């Protein structure tokens, strides 16, 4: 007979009591870890990672911007040998290394053929290679770009994506070209007129600030014939030509790092070039540009310390201009969040917890199970901490996008598992918690691969009490329903195994009913709260919108299971199979309705979701029906 985690021999009263002490300490330790990590990162001076940039409607640290940009071209948030931030400054400072670094990952060999690039195993190309290729095929790419998104084939979409990726990287480079000190004047006389030493490098911005001097100097040679030009005059012409060449980047608008003025109607931040023509810069604007110029200078010489040292002062200026309101705390929190990658750590804890639990069924049951519990507690703390930090950074409730709902449901599942474990002490809650936490994290990561996970919301989703309560409640309901479904799996698995499990099965059956009731509570109120929100926003409680129908479908399914049991139609086996199938209903209501692409709720459409969803449904149907029949055969035959 197989050893099982439900067997009595696995539970000792003594270990249980001592485990409480260990658990408490572990929990306290985990929370302290998160808090300590948080406060450590917020103490000390801000660095260049925290420099603010406005992008996609919000002000974010340049570090986040760099990660998302790199993700969009390279497919990952960092390069093998350098961070996204380092890479970003390599681009911004236009270091030669940037042009020869392979950073463009072409997703499909067909792209390589279409762009006539050299064939490579990893399909990684440098900026130089790709810009040459896109230049060669520019007309074709522009034609594709003009087409509607729906009209493009997959390969055409990817071509446009690649092209846009290359343009965006280039846009970042061009956006800072006015701040790079690349112009040198040899003539001492001329240099002195611009307050420069001979051969001292200065930027376009430097000369733009001294436009009156430049005008005067240019005027001085206007009257002369070309043959009369002396060395100074020749250098003026060279300088003006060089300045004009850089001036081609004037339209570059890929780095909105200069804060909007207080009287700006749109609140739009501006890229350095947008200020080059302004006759009068505000103190804040000048300081921002000066600081950026100094940082780029330091970066291009490889002096990171000196670059970091210039940031604190800039933040002081920002704060002074905003009546003392500091801007950096959220930015720092966000940078810290993306650096620590709490969710990667929590998923690691869940996986480790599950593996350790598996090991506990083979050797050292008590010790390993406690270790597994500790890992689950750690995972839940990190997971919850991550959610909390996100809430602080965004200043909004934990769930407002599909990605957030996935992460939140994972948290609820893990938390439910933890609570169940703390009540039962038999390893069952550990399975539920670790599996839910880990699986939904992975689902979440696939959504995070789309870019910035903290995007802004469309008008109707913005700041509403009912929305906040509705979404949180319904996602808790999803979580509980999935946990109940997981118990359904366990029930059928146990019932199909040889041996006498009546005690265990009756306990599990009660668990299923209980969890289903809890899940019903949340899905029902989540759905009704959704209706109330719709009534507040659109004037109708119920509009038979796909998302609403999906939520109602879950509620009806759960009600059907409960009343089927009361009416005597479904026994525990049927209940278990029904709860497994409920997972399908949840998945379809959660992700599936977005595929229908109709109605007010279709905000999270993704191309590849359909396949994964279908695979999930088939798997669950197979598990439910297979488990059901095996369990029935087992019950029919005398053990």
Partner 1 sequence: MMLRSLLRALSHPRVFFFCCIWLIVLLTVGTIAQRDLGLYLAQEKYFSSWFLFVGFLPLPGGRLTMLLTFINLALFHTKKTLWRPKKIGVLITHFGALLLLVGGFLTAYFSSEGTMVINEGETVSFVSSDEVKELVLADQNHPDYDEITAIPEALLKVGSTLTHPNIPGSFEVLEYYRNCRPVPRKNQDSGPYRGLAERFELERIPEAQERQQNRAGIVLKVSGIDEQNDGIYALYERSPMLQTLSDGQRTVALVLRRERTYLPFSLELLDFQQNLHPGTGMAKSYRSIVNLHQGETSRRVVIQMNEPLRLAGRTFFQASFFKGNNTETTVLQVVKNYGRMFPYISSIIMCIGLLIHLVIKVPGLIAKKKSESNA
Contacts with partner 1 by CB under 8 A lie at: 54-58, 256, 260, 266-269, 420, 423-424, 426, 456, 458-460, 462-464, 506-507, 510-511, 513-515, 517-518, 520-521, 524-525, 528-529, 531-532, 535-546, 549-550, 552-553, 556-557, 559-560, 563-564, 566-569, 593, 596-599
* Min dist. Cβ of residue 511 to partner 1 (A): 6
Nearer to partner 1, 127 or 522 (CB): 522
| Among 38, 15, 96, residue whose Cα is nearest residue 368 | 15
Nearer to partner 1, 367 or 569 (CB): 569
Distance (Å, whole) CA 114 – CA 111: 5
Q: How many helices (H) and strands (E) does the chain have?
A: 26, 6
Nearer to partner 1, 147 or 540 (CB): 540
Distance (Å, whole) CA 64 – CA 374: 32
Distance (Å, whole) CA 59 – CA 256: 9
* Min dist. Cβ of residue 6 to partner 1 (A): 9
* Min dist. Cβ of residue 525 to partner 1 (A): 6
Q: Is 126 helix (H, G, I), strand (E, B) or coil?
A: strand
Nearer to partner 1, 445 or 542 (CB): 542
Adjacent-strand bridge partners of 181: 203
* Min dist. Cβ of residue 53 to partner 1 (A): 10
Distance (Å, whole) CA 512 – CA 506: 10
Nearer to partner 1, 165 or 530 (CB): 530
* Min dist. Cβ of residue 528 to partner 1 (A): 4
CB neighbourhood size of 72 (10 A) = 17
Nearer to partner 1, 270 or 383 (CB): 270
The DSSP-derived string for 59-117 is EEEHHHHHHHHHHHHHSSSS-SSS-HHHHHHHHHTT-HHHHTSEEEE-S-HHHHHHTTP
Which sign, positive or negative, has the C-alpha torsion 181, 186, 187, 192? positive
Nearer to partner 1, 229 or 542 (CB): 542
Distance (Å, whole) CA 239 – CA 215: 12
* Min dist. Cβ of residue 399 to partner 1 (A): 17
Residue 432: which residues within 8 A CB-CB, separation 6 or more?
A: 413, 416, 417, 420, 483, 486, 487
Question: Would you give the end-to-end CA distance of the chain in angstroms?
Answer: 12
* Min dist. Cβ of residue 338 to partner 1 (A): 21
- Tokens representing 155? 């390969």
* Min dist. Cβ of residue 460 to partner 1 (A): 5
Nearer to partner 1, 3 or 510 (CB): 510
| Among 409, 394, 383, residue whose Cα is nearest residue 454 | 394
- Tokens representing 342? 């709490």
* Min dist. Cβ of residue 564 to partner 1 (A): 5
From the centroid of its chain, how far is CA 582? 29
* Min dist. Cβ of residue 321 to partner 1 (A): 17
Adjacent-strand bridge partners of 125: 104
Nearer to partner 1, 266 or 637 (CB): 266
What are the start-end ranges of the E strands in 110-253?
124-126, 181-184, 201-203
Nearer to partner 1, 279 or 539 (CB): 539
Which sign, positive or negative, has the C-alpha torsion 415, 420, 425, 430? negative
* Min dist. Cβ of residue 98 to partner 1 (A): 25
Sole residue written with tokens 């890929």: 254
Q: Which residues of 208-232 are buried (b: 16+ CB within 10 A; e: fewer)?
A: bbbeeebeebeeebeeeeeeeeeeb
The DSSP-derived string for 241-273 is HHHHHHHGGGG----B-BPPPTT-SS---B-GG
Nearer to partner 1, 406 or 467 (CB): 467
């Amino acid at each position: 007979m197989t050893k099982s985690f439900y067997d009595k021999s696995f539970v000792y009263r003594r270990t249980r009591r001592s485990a409480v002490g260990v658990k408490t300490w572990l929990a306290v330790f985990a929370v302290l870890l998160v808090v300590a990590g948080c406060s450590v990162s917020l103490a000390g001076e801000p660095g260049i990672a925290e420099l603010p940039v406005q992008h996609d409607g919000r002000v974010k640290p340049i570090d986040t911007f760099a990660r998302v940009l790199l993700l969009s071209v390279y497919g990952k948030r960092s390069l093998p040998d350098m961070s996204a931030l380092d890479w970003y400054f390599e681009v911004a400072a236009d270091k030669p290394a940037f042009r020869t670094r392979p950073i463009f990952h072409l997703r499909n060999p067909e792209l390589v053929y279409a762009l006539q690039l050299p064939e490579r195993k990893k399909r990684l190309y440098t900026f130089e290679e790709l810009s040459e290729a896109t230049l060669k095929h520019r007309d074709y790419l522009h034609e594709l770009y003009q087409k509607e998104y729906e009209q493009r084939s997959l390969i055409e979409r990817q071509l446009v994506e690649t092209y846009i990726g290359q343009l965006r990287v280039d846009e970042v480079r061009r956006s800072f070209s006015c701040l790079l000190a690349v112009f040198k004047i040899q003539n001492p006389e001329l240099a002195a007129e611009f307050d420069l030493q001979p051969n001292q490098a200065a930027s376009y911005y430097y000369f733009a600030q001294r436009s009156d001097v430049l005008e005067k100097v240019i005027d001085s040679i206007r009257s002369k014939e070309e043959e009369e030009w002396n060395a100074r005059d020749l250098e003026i012409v060279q300088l003006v030509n060089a300045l004009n060449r850089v001036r081609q980047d004037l339209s570059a608008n890929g780095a909105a790092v200069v804060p909007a003025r207080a009287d700006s109607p749109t609140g739009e931040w501006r890229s350095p070039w947008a200020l080059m023509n302004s006759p009068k810069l505000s103190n804040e604007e000048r300081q921002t540009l000066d600081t950026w110029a100094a940082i780029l200078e330091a970066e291009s010489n490889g002096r990171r310390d000196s670059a970091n040292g210039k940031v604190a002062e800039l933040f002081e200026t920002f704060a002074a201009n905003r009546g003392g309101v500091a801007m950096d705390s959220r930015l720092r929190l966000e940078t810290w969040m993306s650096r620590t990658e709490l969710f990667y750590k929590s998923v690691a804890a869940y996986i480790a917890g599950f593996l350790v639990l598996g090991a506990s069924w083979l050797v050292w049951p008590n010790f390993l199970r406690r270790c597994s519990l500790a890992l689950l507690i750690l995972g839940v703390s990190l997971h919850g901490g991550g959610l909390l930090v996100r809430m602080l950074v965004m200043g909004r409730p934990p769930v407002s996008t599909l990605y957030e709902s996935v992460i939140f449901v994972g948290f609820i599942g893990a938390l439910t598992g933890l609570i169940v474990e703390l009540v039962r002490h038999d390893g069952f809650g550990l399975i539920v918690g670790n599996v839910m936490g880990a699986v939904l994290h992975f689902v979440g990561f696939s959504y995070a691969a789309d870019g910035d996970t903290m995007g802004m919301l469309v008008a109707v989703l913005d700041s509403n009490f009912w929305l906040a309560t509705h979404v949180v409640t319904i996602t808790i309901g999803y979580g509980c329903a999935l946990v109940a479904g997981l118990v359904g799996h366990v029930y059928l698995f146990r019932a199909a195994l040889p041996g006498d499990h009546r005690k265990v099965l009756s306990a599990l059956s009660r668990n299923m009913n209980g969890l289903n009731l809890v899940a019903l509570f949340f899905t029902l109120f989540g759905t009704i709260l959704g209706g109330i929100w719709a009534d507040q926003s659109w004037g109708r409680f119920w509009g038979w919108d796909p998302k609403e129908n999906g939520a109602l479908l879950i509620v009806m399914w759960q009600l059907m299971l409960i009343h089927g049991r009361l009416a005597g139609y479904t026994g525990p086996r049927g209940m278990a199979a029904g709860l497994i199938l409920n997972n399908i209903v949840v998945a379809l209501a959660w992700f599936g309705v977005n595929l229908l692409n109709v109605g007010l709720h279709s905000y999270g459409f993704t191309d590849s979701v359909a396949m994964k969803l279908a695979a999930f449904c088939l798997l669950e149907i197979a598990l439910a029906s297979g488990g059901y029949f095996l369990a029935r055969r087992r019950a029919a035959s005398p053990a």
